[in-house]
Structure 1
């Protein structure tokens, strides 16, 4: 396997030099992941100052390994770990994240997840199938006669945010504003974020939180049949969620419930069109559609990296970690491990190999995975059936948002 010229690998020290802001990398990260699998699947990324794992078995086991966690300050102080004090200029962002399902460990994580999990199990999500199909068809009605469309703004952005807003109980007309807040908010997770990114995320967190508090107050006074009302009025072992917990949970559900799916709809359409395969074959029945969706999730996942703290001294793949060390797991690279997937860079929906890790694993497995999978399984067949002859109008440009992976725009014609 050739090593791209912008990637430097020292196999002796297992150190890697790679600029994540290089378009040659983030536009086609799979090529780099393939080189890492061939030469150095566990490596120290010099620019990120952290160890990374790409092997499927390592990533899969570390996602479930209770010696690692999403949180560290529940068992150790900042002084013990020599961690700096929080930046005051992102205080509202930190407050919004304080009770995030993505960041907590048991028992707090268990309590919060138990309260919202019921709404996201497959049998409940399946009930949304008719309204999801209705929304997809309605959007296509709006541009079908134009014979061209920028798919992300006209379709991909709208469907996930509308569905998660309906589920939680947020008015649909808030969709565009929710997208603005979410896009600004998640820039805190990007590699190489700037002070401008941080200031934007701080403003978004403050406005987002203030808005959610107004909706919480409305639901306290006027309960409805939605997830927010359920979270407000349901107790777990005698405890109700506090207002801060309600705000954090609502924000993370709104963000996670649509951000990745927006990227994945575009990624999936692109990979299908690039493959040259007949969409009629890829979506001929539910089972075939499901395999197509899972293969698109495997080969072009929307979120590439999950991080974990070492909660105790531990050795993995010959690397010793002390309590308080951070490690990163590249889910998208694990999906390309040649030890698990034959011809891993090829789009082959008929493969019957290991399940992809795009939604994670273990107690932090993506709670919105059933909803995301339903959306992809419903809207992709409708899109290709309604628009026969669908093709790329121009070469898509990948968005500079690593470690997320999505397109800046997707111009199509038919």
Structure 2
């Protein structure tokens, strides 16, 4: 396995040097993951000053390991851990994140997730199939005659945000604004974020929160059959969600409910077209469609990294962690582990191997996975069936960020 020239690996110390902002890396991270699997599947990333895991079994078990958690301040103070005080210039962002399902640990996580979970189980989500198909067809009606399209703006951006907005009870004409807030908001999660990124995320969090508070007030006055009303009026063991919990939960559902799926619609369309396989065979029936979708999720996952705090001293793969250490799990690399997948860098929808880890595992398994899977299983067959002869018009442009893997543009023609 060739080591890319921009990657430096010292197998003896398991130290790796890699600039995440290098286009050669973020354009094709799979090549780097393949080299890491050969030489150093558990490694210390010098630029990030943290240990990372890429092996399937390690990532899968660490996602479920209760010695690690998404937060640490529920069991230790900042002073004990030597953590700095929170930055005041991102106070609104921190408040919006305080009760995020992604960040909480039990018992708070259990309570919030129980209240929200009912809306996302497969049988509820399945009912959205007809309106999902109708939306996909309507969007294609709008550009079919042009014989060309930039797929993200005309199709992939619109579908997930429209569906999650409808589900929660947010007017779908808010879609473009929700996308702007979301794009600004998630820049806080990126490596090497700038003060400009932080200020943009803070503004987005404030505006987003204010909007959600207004929507909550409207639902309190006029309940409807939507998820927001359900979250306001449903109790768990005698407790209702507080205003701050409602705001955090609504924001995380809106962000997570579309950001990754937008990326995955583009990623999947690209990988299918680049594979040279016949779309008619890939989407022949529900079973082949499902396999195609799962394989595209495996080979080009939209979210690459999830982090965990060590909640107690623990040793993993010969590395000792003390309480308060952070570790990173590369989901997208675990999906390429040659110990689990034959010829892992090849798109093979007929493979019958380990399930992909693109939605995580354990108590933080993605609550929106049934919705994301439904969207991909419905809209991708419609896209390829409606536009026979679909092809790449230009080389796809990958977003200039690592961590969330997706395209900036996907220009197609037929």
Output the TM-score relative to the length of structure 2: 1.00
For structure 2, the residue ranges without an aligned partner over 5 or more in a row are none
Q: State the 1:85 CA deviation.
A: 0.3
- 1:230-267 Cα distance to aligned partner (Å, 9 max, x none): 00000100100000000000000000000000000000
User: Match of 2:300?
Assistant: 300
Q: State the 1:67 CA deviation.
A: 0.1
Q: State the 1:397 CA deviation.
A: 1.1
- 1:101-143 Cα distance to aligned partner (Å, 9 max, x none): 0000000000000000000000000000000000000000000
Q: State the 1:401 CA deviation.
A: 1.8
- 1:342-388 Cα distance to aligned partner (Å, 9 max, x none): 00000000000000000000000000000000000000000000000
Runs of 4+ with >6 A deviation: none
Counterparts of 1:407 and 1:89, CA distance in 2: 30
Q: State the 1:15 CA deviation.
A: 0.2
Counterparts of 2:235 and 2:413, CA distance in 1: 51
- 1:25-79 Cα distance to aligned partner (Å, 9 max, x none): 0000000000000000000000000000000000000000000000100000000
- Secondary structure of the 2:328 match is strand
Q: State the 1:4 CA deviation.
A: 0.4
Counterparts of 2:288 and 2:101, CA distance in 1: 33
- Secondary structure of the 1:51 match is strand
Counterparts of 2:267 and 2:191, CA distance in 1: 20
For structure 1, the residue ranges without an aligned partner over 5 or more in a row are none
Please give the residue correspondences for 1:65-76 in structure 2 after superposition, counting only pairs within 5 Å.
65-76=65-76
- 1:122-181 Cα distance to aligned partner (Å, 9 max, x none): 000000000000000000000000000000000000000000000000000000000000
User: Match of 1:244?
Assistant: 244
Counterparts of 2:250 and 2:18, CA distance in 1: 36
Q: State the 1:18 CA deviation.
A: 0.1
- Secondary structure of the 2:266 match is helix
Output the TM-score relative to the length of structure 1: 1.00
Q: State the 1:405 CA deviation.
A: 0.2
Counterparts of 1:192 and 1:394, CA distance in 2: 30
- 1:72-93 Cα distance to aligned partner (Å, 9 max, x none): 0000000000000000000000
Counterparts of 2:391 and 2:195, CA distance in 1: 39
Query: Aligned Cα RMSD in Å?
Result: 0.3
Counterparts of 1:411 and 1:194, CA distance in 2: 30
Counterparts of 1:380 and 1:146, CA distance in 2: 19
Q: State the 1:400 CA deviation.
A: 1.1
Please give the residue correspondences for 1:199-348 in structure 2 after superposition, counting only pairs within 5 Å.
199-348=199-348
- Secondary structure of the 1:214 match is helix
Counterparts of 1:39 and 1:302, CA distance in 2: 25
Counterparts of 1:373 and 1:379, CA distance in 2: 10
User: Match of 2:185?
Assistant: 185
- Secondary structure of the 1:360 match is coil
Counterparts of 1:6 and 1:336, CA distance in 2: 20
Counterparts of 1:256 and 1:397, CA distance in 2: 22
- Secondary structure of the 1:358 match is coil
- Secondary structure of the 1:352 match is coil
- Secondary structure of the 2:329 match is strand
